[in-house]
Amino acid sequence: MQTSPKIEFFKEREFGDKINITFAFIRQNAGSYLKYQLFISGPFIAVGVILTALFMSSFFGIITSAGANGVADPSAVLGSMGNLFLTMLIYMMIYLVVSLVGLGYMRAYHESPDGKVDMSDITRRLWKKLPAGLGAVLLGLVCISIGYLFLIIPGIYLAIAFSLILVIIMFEDDSNSVSVIGRSIKLTGGKWWSTFGLLFVTSIIAAAIGYVIQLPVALISFSQEFTSASESGVVDPEGFGTTFGVVYSLFYYIALLINVFIVQTALAFQYFNLVEKKESRGLMDKIEGMGASTEEQNEEHY
């Protein structure tokens, strides 16, 4: 439940302040945020877990078959590649959905007078913003990939310049898949290094938490399977691949939720900071609010 004072979004903040407010928001909203992620993003994550299990099962089966026969079955390899392609697509889709759900939570929080968030608001915004978000991400990936083909540095530059795409999609209703890219470049113009620094620091923190979650799970899965194999004398590579795929991908997506919570929240506060610096949106909203309050008082007086 929302008990702490509501956090102001559109406000100029220094680098350290943006990191502090990111984790203040996380501490204040972690419970409800993760609950809504589970309910809304959960079905997408379940599909991702199933596809990962299928891919890992076929992958370990191919390796074992190739080791025994000296050559891999071409049809099995093609089938595994198909599973891998589907898995990569669902990974991208899950990241997009989780990001939009998280940012939708932030917008609902911002627009709520007391900071309380309703799941229906998040779901409505997800389906409304998903097509534009998907188009913007695909277009951004194409541009970044072209940048990497020529030189690595242009690709890195574009990746940071495009980093606010999903935040803009969620918080600006007049944005679309194309205009949002120019908008992101405009906002990060002159503030590329601060955006890079914020993304770098929060990504390291999120990655460290993710490794803490995933590494023990991977080690336990391997040790249990090899213990079982040593006791029975039989190794079932496809069964191991399925078990490992389910367990590892499940904890991978838990780590992904945490990663998105940290990184996208930080990028959102960078967006609020840059919009306030360049457009004074928060200040203008306060002035409009004061004007509306004065008009109400005058009407009551007369």
Out of 23-32, 69-78, 212-221, 257-266, least confident range: 69-78
Report d(CA 164, CA 283) in Å as an integer: 21
Average pLDDT, the chain: 81
Identify which has the larger pLDDT, 246 or 19: 19
Contact assessment for residue 192 and residue 160, using Cβ atoms and an 8 Å cutoff: yes
Contact assessment for residue 36 and residue 122, using Cβ atoms and an 8 Å cutoff: yes
Q: How confident is the model at residue 222 (pLDDT cuts 50, 70, 90)?
A: low
Report d(CA 262, CA 29) in Å as an integer: 12
The answer on pLDDT for 266 being more than 80 is yes
Location of structure tokens 């083909």: 149
Mean pLDDT along residues 129-134? 92
What phi and psi, each to the nearest 5 degrees, are found at residue 162? -95, 0
The pLDDT tens digits for 167-200 are: 999 999 888 888 999 999 999 999 999 999 999 9
Q: How far does CA 294 lie from the centroid of its chain?
A: 42
The reported pLDDT for the residue numbered 96 is 94
Nearest to 246 by CA among 59, 90, 51: 51
Q: How confident is the model at residue 267 (pLDDT cuts 50, 70, 90)?
A: very high
The reported pLDDT for the residue numbered 172 is 92
Mean pLDDT along residues 7-25? 93
The answer on pLDDT for 65 being more than 90 is no
